[in-house]
Amino acid sequence: MVKSINPIDLPSALRQAVDGTVYSAIGLPDPGESAARAAGLTERETAILAALARGLSNEAIGKELWVAEQTVKFHLTNIYRKLGVSNRTEAARLAYQNGLVESPIDDR
Protein backbone atom coordinates (compact mmCIF):
# COMPACT_ATOMS: atom_id res chain seq x y z
CA MET A 1 0.00 0.00 0.00
CA VAL A 2 1.27 3.47 -0.82
CA LYS A 3 1.46 6.40 1.59
CA SER A 4 -0.28 8.69 -0.87
CA ILE A 5 -3.51 6.69 -0.85
CA ASN A 6 -6.72 8.68 -0.88
CA PRO A 7 -8.40 8.33 2.56
CA ILE A 8 -11.66 7.45 0.81
CA ASP A 9 -9.96 4.42 -0.78
CA LEU A 10 -8.36 3.22 2.48
CA PRO A 11 -11.13 0.80 3.59
CA SER A 12 -11.19 -0.90 0.21
CA ALA A 13 -7.40 -1.11 0.11
CA LEU A 14 -7.30 -2.66 3.59
CA ARG A 15 -9.93 -5.26 2.62
CA GLN A 16 -7.92 -6.17 -0.45
CA ALA A 17 -4.75 -6.48 1.61
CA VAL A 18 -6.49 -8.77 4.11
CA ASP A 19 -7.87 -10.86 1.23
CA GLY A 20 -4.36 -11.18 -0.19
CA THR A 21 -5.07 -9.28 -3.39
CA VAL A 22 -3.01 -6.42 -4.73
CA TYR A 23 -4.26 -2.89 -4.36
CA SER A 24 -3.27 -0.57 -7.20
CA ALA A 25 -3.63 3.14 -6.58
CA ILE A 26 -4.94 5.23 -9.45
CA GLY A 27 -2.08 6.93 -11.22
CA LEU A 28 0.38 4.11 -10.69
CA PRO A 29 1.19 1.92 -13.67
CA ASP A 30 -0.59 -1.40 -13.77
CA PRO A 31 1.92 -4.22 -13.24
CA GLY A 32 0.75 -5.69 -16.55
CA GLU A 33 1.19 -2.44 -18.43
CA SER A 34 3.52 -2.70 -21.40
CA ALA A 35 6.98 -1.23 -21.27
CA ALA A 36 6.19 0.85 -24.34
CA ARG A 37 3.18 2.43 -22.66
CA ALA A 38 5.30 3.13 -19.58
CA ALA A 39 7.81 4.88 -21.86
CA GLY A 40 4.99 7.15 -23.01
CA LEU A 41 4.62 5.68 -26.50
CA THR A 42 1.22 5.54 -28.14
CA GLU A 43 -0.03 2.33 -29.75
CA ARG A 44 0.81 3.72 -33.20
CA GLU A 45 4.31 4.77 -32.08
CA THR A 46 4.85 1.30 -30.62
CA ALA A 47 3.81 -0.31 -33.92
CA ILE A 48 6.17 1.97 -35.84
CA LEU A 49 9.01 1.27 -33.41
CA ALA A 50 8.45 -2.48 -33.80
CA ALA A 51 8.56 -2.17 -37.59
CA LEU A 52 11.68 -0.01 -37.38
CA ALA A 53 13.32 -2.60 -35.12
CA ARG A 54 12.55 -5.26 -37.74
CA GLY A 55 14.59 -3.20 -40.21
CA LEU A 56 11.78 -1.79 -42.33
CA SER A 57 12.28 1.49 -44.19
CA ASN A 58 9.96 4.45 -43.61
CA GLU A 59 8.25 3.67 -46.90
CA ALA A 60 7.73 0.01 -45.96
CA ILE A 61 6.44 0.97 -42.50
CA GLY A 62 3.96 3.35 -44.11
CA LYS A 63 2.70 0.67 -46.49
CA GLU A 64 2.40 -1.90 -43.70
CA LEU A 65 0.46 0.47 -41.42
CA TRP A 66 -1.48 2.24 -44.19
CA VAL A 67 -0.08 5.69 -43.45
CA ALA A 68 1.93 8.18 -45.49
CA GLU A 69 5.71 8.08 -45.28
CA GLN A 70 5.62 11.64 -43.91
CA THR A 71 3.36 10.41 -41.08
CA VAL A 72 5.91 7.72 -40.25
CA LYS A 73 8.63 10.40 -40.11
CA PHE A 74 6.45 12.50 -37.79
CA HIS A 75 5.95 9.55 -35.44
CA LEU A 76 9.66 8.69 -35.54
CA THR A 77 10.51 12.22 -34.43
CA ASN A 78 8.20 11.79 -31.44
CA ILE A 79 9.57 8.32 -30.68
CA TYR A 80 13.18 9.56 -30.73
CA ARG A 81 12.27 12.45 -28.42
CA LYS A 82 10.41 10.23 -25.95
CA LEU A 83 13.19 7.63 -25.88
CA GLY A 84 16.00 10.19 -25.78
CA VAL A 85 17.72 8.83 -28.89
CA SER A 86 18.79 10.46 -32.13
CA ASN A 87 18.60 7.74 -34.77
CA ARG A 88 17.02 4.44 -35.88
CA THR A 89 19.86 2.27 -34.61
CA GLU A 90 19.71 3.73 -31.10
CA ALA A 91 15.92 3.44 -31.07
CA ALA A 92 16.00 -0.23 -32.13
CA ARG A 93 18.73 -1.09 -29.61
CA LEU A 94 16.89 0.63 -26.77
CA ALA A 95 13.60 -0.97 -27.80
CA TYR A 96 15.03 -4.49 -27.64
CA GLN A 97 17.09 -3.90 -24.48
CA ASN A 98 14.12 -2.50 -22.57
CA GLY A 99 11.41 -4.82 -23.85
CA LEU A 100 9.58 -2.09 -25.74
CA VAL A 101 9.23 -4.49 -28.67
CA GLU A 102 9.47 -8.26 -28.81
CA SER A 103 12.79 -9.66 -29.92
CA PRO A 104 12.61 -11.84 -33.02
CA ILE A 105 12.78 -15.55 -32.28
CA ASP A 106 16.10 -17.09 -33.14
CA ASP A 107 15.44 -20.21 -35.27
CA ARG A 108 18.97 -21.56 -34.97
Walk along the chain (108 residues) in steps of 10 and give the mean pLDDT of each run. Answer: 59 73 54 63 94 97 97 97 94 90 66
Shared-domain flag, residues 55 and 20: no
Predicted structure pTM score: 0.65
CB 28 within 8 A of CB 22: no
Count of the separate structural domains present in the chain: 2
Q: By residue range, what is the domain housing residue 19?
A: 1-29
Q: How far apart are CA 44 and CA 66, in angstroms?
A: 11
Shared-domain flag, residues 7 and 56: no
pLDDT at 32: 41
Q: How far apart are CA 44 and CA 82, in angstroms?
A: 14
CB neighbourhood size of 80 (10 A): 16
**77-82: long-range pairs with CB below 8 Å, 24+:** 78/45, 79/41, 79/45, 79/48, 79/49, 79/52, 82/39, 82/40, 82/41, 82/45
pLDDT at 12: 72
Shared-domain flag, residues 43 and 80: yes
Q: How far apart are CA 22 and CA 59, in angstroms?
A: 45
Task: Specify if 104 maps to a domain.
Answer: no
Task: Specify if 102 maps to a domain.
Answer: no
pLDDT at 31: 46
